[in-house]
């Protein structure tokens, strides 16, 4: 598998030096993990190398980030997690994917929470999933009405 990292706004050698020093600090335990995907590639693959994909003259930072985004979006197995310029559609899609991943990972917890049963003061029982249906039921509403009547009598 080939993995790529896009985006260089500094010389490649300096960028690599930062990654290698950070990895060494991370391995010693003196630094937390910042570039974890790059660490994974550097430690798990013996034959990694870095190269400049393109020399792209640009007039400002936005143009640089646009090009970086192009490479990140269009390169398979890219290491970069941060996409500098998301389009609104890209952001929406990324959010959707994140939500789907979360939902997939927590599906059983959610199902268990939805099926958890509760007892109501009216004597009825309901699951978390149908609690609103219970609150609209005749049994619950007549109980609430009785409570209201009793509270008027007491006052």
**Choice between 87 and 115, CB closer to Zn ion:** 115
- Give the residue from 8, 115, 142, 12 showing the smallest Cα distance to 72: 8
Question: What is the number of the residue whose Cβ is closest to Zn ion?
Answer: 120
**How many CA within 13 A on the CB side of residue 117?**
4
**Choice between 106 and 131, CB closer to Zn ion:** 131
Helix, strand, coil tally for the chain in percent (to 5) = 60, 5, 35
- Give the residue from 52, 44, 84, 81 showing the smallest Cα distance to 68: 84
String marking each residue 111-140 x if it binds Zn ion according to CB under 5 A: ---------x-x-x---------------x
String marking each residue 64-103 x if it binds Zn ion according to CB under 5 A: ----------------------------------------
Binding residues (CB under 5 A) for Zn ion: these are 120, 122, 124, 140
């Amino acid at each position: 598998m080939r993995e790529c990292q896009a985006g260089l706004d500094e010389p490649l050698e300096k960028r690599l030096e930062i990654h290698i020093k950070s990895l060494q600090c991370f391995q010693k335990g003196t630094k937390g993990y910042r570039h974890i995907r790059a660490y994974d590639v550097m430690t798990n693959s013996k034959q990694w190398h870095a190269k400049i994909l393109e020399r792209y003259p640009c007039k400002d930072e936005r143009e640089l980030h646009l090009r970086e985004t192009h490479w990140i979006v269009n390169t398979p197995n890219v290491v970069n997690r941060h996409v500098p310029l998301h389009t609104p559609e890209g952001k929406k899609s990324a959010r959707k994917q994140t939500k789907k991943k979360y939902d997939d990972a927590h599906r059983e917890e959610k199902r268990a929470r939805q099926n958890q049963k509760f007892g109501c003061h009216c004597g009825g029982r309901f699951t978390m999933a149908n609690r609103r249906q219970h609150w609209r039921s005749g049994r619950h509403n007549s109980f609430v009405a009785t409570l209201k009547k009793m509270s008027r009598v007491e006052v």
